[in-house]
């Protein structure tokens, strides 16, 4: 998988786990191929499954609003999920489903080489910090294997608990600072045998 386009095609044809049997569309992810930020959610929901695009339902509309508050648009960033197909009834992803999709997400990250990965919700955070509580680490930039990670609450949390809305907006304001800090750090070298640049739910809060 040497390009984002190849990953996209592989995901849409993937049958590596049983979720492929019930999907309308796989949701590989989308966004700017020169993005300095990747947002990682949990899994596609109903609207995402229907359209084959990430974050296009109510949580996605709130994500667009959050990006706007920090001077970004959807087309400025890259958005993906831990798994690429919708689980039945938006249930939590199974470990075997996450394992089946990890290769796609990891390769997207390798190709994009972002300055910052923003994890949205508990499941995405667990990819990097499996023993942590999102309520404790949210809004704080951490480094894992040389990569800056910013765990945040999932936008869907604010749709279910209105009192969390301001906290989510506050935490998003950390993103520009984190990107600016990354400018001062040495560039991360591209992975071996990779091009230097790319070639072209309801979700749990805790």
pLDDT above 90: percentage of residues in the chain: 83
Over residues 120-131, mean pLDDT: 94
Closest CA to 106 of 205, 11, 202: 11
Task: Tell which wins on pLDDT, 199 or 192.
Answer: 192
In angstroms, the Cα distances linking 45 to 31, 163, 199 are: 18, 23, 29
| 83-104 pLDDT, tens digit each | 999 999 999 999 999 999 999 9
Over residues 145-150, mean pLDDT: 93
Task: Please check the confidence at residue 196 and state whether its pLDDT lies above 90.
Answer: no
Give the CA radius of gyration of the chain.
16
Task: Tell which wins on pLDDT, 189 or 143.
Answer: 143
pLDDT above 70: percentage of residues in the chain: 89
pLDDT value of residue 163: 92
Task: Please check the confidence at residue 30 and state whether its pLDDT lies above 60.
Answer: yes
Topology at the third CATH level for domain 4-183: Uracil-DNA Glycosylase, subunit E (3.40.470)
pLDDT value of residue 185: 67
pLDDT value of residue 176: 94
Reported confidence tier of residue 181, pLDDT bands at 50, 70, 90: confident
pLDDT value of residue 172: 94
Reported confidence tier of residue 189, pLDDT bands at 50, 70, 90: very low
Over residues 148-176, mean pLDDT: 94
Extended strands (E) in the chain: 30-31, 37-41, 78-81, 116-120, 142-144, 147-152
Distance of CA 41 to the CA centre of its chain: 4
Residues 186 and 84: beta-carbon distance below 8 Å: no
pLDDT value of residue 186: 53
> Can you give the residue ranges of every domain in the chain?
4-183
pLDDT value of residue 1: 84
């Amino acid at each position: 998988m040497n390009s984002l386009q190849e990953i996209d095609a592989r995901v849409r044809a993937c049958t590596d786990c049983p979720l492929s049997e019930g999907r309308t569309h796989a949701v590989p992810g989308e966004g700017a191929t020169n993005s300095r930020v990747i947002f990682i959610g949990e899994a596609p929901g109903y609207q995402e499954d229907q359209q084959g695009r990430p974050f296009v339902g109510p949580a996605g509309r709130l994500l667009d609003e959050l990006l706007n508050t920090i001077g970004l648009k959807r087309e400025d960033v890259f958005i993906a999920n831990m798994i690429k197909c919708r689980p039945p009834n938006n249930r939590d992803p199974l470990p075997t489903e996450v394992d089946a999709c990890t290769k796609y997400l990891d390769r997207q990250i390798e190709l994009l080489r972002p300055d910052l990965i923003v994890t949205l919700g508990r499941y995405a955070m667990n990819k990097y910090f499996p023993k942590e509580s999102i309520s404790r680490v949210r809004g704080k930039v951490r480094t894992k294997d040389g990569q800056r990670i910013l765990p945040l609450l999932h936008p869907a949390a604010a749709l279910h608990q209105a009192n969390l809305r301001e906290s989510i907006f506050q935490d998003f304001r950390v993103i520009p600072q984190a990107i600016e800090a990354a400018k001062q750090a040495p560039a991360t070298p591209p992975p071996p045998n990779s091009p230097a640049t790319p070639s072209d739910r309801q979700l749990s809060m805790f």
